[in-house]
Amino acid sequence: MPVNSVKIYVQSSVRAYYEHSKDRSKGYNYKNETLIELYNITPEEQKQLKTIISLREKYDRNNKRRRLNRRNEDSLTPRQAKKQETINKVKSLHEQGLKQVEIANKLSITDR
């Protein structure tokens, strides 16, 4: 679809949206699914849009956001970060000359 046609359709849709929000009897009342079907918007194009997206794209965006929020600045999950912290403590105590049993008692973990 030519760029100018897309611009005209989008401007018309936005204008109609604002008219509809002021007076419910005016303007368009299309669902995203209907707009996607009318304008033949592909999934690749939806990835670049902000509002006219399918449920699949909406779920993909939410899942991506959740995956990113799940990890810290070192790209570790909370469990991985705790494990790495424990490993570092064990290494530092081992370098101080403590034995496995002493390290386990000090960190309240099993010696295996």
- pLDDT beyond 80 at 59: yes
Phi, psi of 30 (to 5 degrees): -90, 145
Work out the average pLDDT over 77-83: 93
Q: What is the pTM of this model?
A: 0.51
How many domains would you assign to the chain?
A: 2
Residue 53: other Cβ atoms inside 10 A: 21
Work out the average pLDDT over 84-99: 95
CA 37 to chain centre: 25
Q: Do 27 and 20 touch, CB atoms closer than 8 A?
A: yes
- Indicate whether 56 belongs to any domain: yes
Residue-range definition of the domain harbouring residue 95: 78-107
Asked if residue 82 and residue 64 are part of one domain, the reply reads no
Work out the average pLDDT over 38-60: 93
- Indicate whether 60 belongs to any domain: yes
Asked if residue 64 and residue 43 are part of one domain, the reply reads yes
- Indicate whether 42 belongs to any domain: yes
